[in-house]
Chain A
Amino acid sequence: MPTTTINGHEVAVDDEGFMTEYDQWDEDMGKALAEAIGVEMTDEHWKAIRFLRDDFKAQGETPTIRRVSTAGGIDTKQLFVLFPKKPAKKMAYIAGLPKPHGCV
Chain B
Amino acid sequence: MTATEPTTATGPMIVPSFDDDEQEGRKLAIICSKGNLDMAYPGLILANAALGEGVEVHLFFTFWGLDMISKAHMDDLKFSPVGNTAAHMPQAITPMPGMTTMATKMMKKSIADLDVPEVPEFLDLIKASGGHMWACRMSVDMNHMTKDDLWEGVDDIINASDFIVLTNGAQLLFI
A residues within 8 Å of B by Cβ? 2, 4-8, 10, 13, 15-18, 28, 32, 35-37, 65-67, 69, 75-77, 80, 84-90, 93, 102-104
Contact = CB atoms under 8 A, between A and B. Distances in A.
B14 A85 contact: no
Given A65-B52, A104-B48, 20 more contacts: A5-B13, A6-B9, A8-B4, A8-B7, A32-B9, A35-B8, A36-B13, A66-B117, A67-B115, A76-B128, A77-B129, A84-B54, A85-B20, A86-B52, A90-B18, A93-B16, A102-B114, A103-B48, A103-B49, A104-B122
B130 interface: yes
Given A85-B23, A86-B53, A8 B128 contact: no
A85 B10 contact: no
Interface residues of B, number: 30
Contacts of A103: 45, 48-49, 114, 116
B28 to A, nearest CB: 14
A85 B9 CA distance: 25
B97 interface: no
Contacts of B13: 4-6, 17, 36
B125 A66 contact: yes
B67 to A, nearest CB: 21
12 contacts: A28-B6, A35-B8, A37-B18, A65-B129, A66-B125, A76-B128, A80-B130, A86-B20, A90-B18, A102-B115, A103-B116, A104-B122
Q: Is the interface of A mostly helix, strand, loop or mixed?
A: mixed
B9 to A, nearest CB: 6
Contacts of A65: 52, 129
Ranked 5 nearest A-B pairs via Cβ: A85-B54, A5-B11, A76-B128, A17-B14, A8-B6
A5 B9 contact: yes
Interface of B: 4, 6-16, 18, 20, 23, 45, 48-49, 52-54, 114-117, 122, 125, 128-130
Contact of B20 (A15, A75, A84): A84
B99 to A, nearest CB: 28
B58 to A, nearest CB: 17
A18 B15 CA distance: 8
Nearest to B45: A103
A36 B15 CA distance: 7
A61 B9 CA distance: 27
B16 to A, nearest CB: 4
